[in-house]
Amino acid sequence: MFKHVQLGAIEALQLGEAWFTALQSEYRARRIIAQQLFDMLGCKYRLGQEGMFIWAQIPSNWASGEELVEHLLQKAGVFITPGFIFGSEGHGFVRVSLCSPPAVFERAMQKLKPLQK
């Protein structure tokens, strides 16, 4: 493993419980707003997903994840990752990363509002 990654891990482990609690709180807020984005799109997702991404099944009125993603990009300037790029099991799914702050999700939802029926 790259030495600087190891040094960063050592530093992170020495930060104490408060740092981890704050980080968990931040990711919880990101997860909640990402779920709201999926709700807005009519996507179905499983609660309790862990990690840095949330996967969601596309609504049945879309033929594919690619079609939904292309529509969102062209009509609202919002990009969501289509699941197919991760393999055949990803067809019919989309994925968002929780690495962006809540303000990014809020901006995306504002841009998507005009597309709501």
The CATH number for 66's domain is 3.90.1150.10
Q: For residue 84, give the DSSP letter.
A: G
Give the mean pLDDT per block of 10 residues along the chain (117 residues). Answer: 89 86 92 96 94 95 95 96 94 95 95 88
pLDDT (0 to 100) of residue 12: 84
DSSP 61: T
Task: Name the domain count of the chain.
Answer: 1
CA 58 to chain centre: 14
Tell me the whole-structure pTM to 2 decimals. Answer: 0.85
Give the domain extent around 57.
3-115
Q: Which amino acid is residue 57, in one-letter code? A: Q
Residue type, 81: T
Q: Give, in order, the Cα–Cα distances in Å from 32 to each of 27, 36, 85, 91.
A: 9, 6, 25, 24
Cβ(81)–Cβ(95) below 8 Å: yes
Residue 116: per-residue pLDDT: 82
Structure tokens at 47: 């609660």
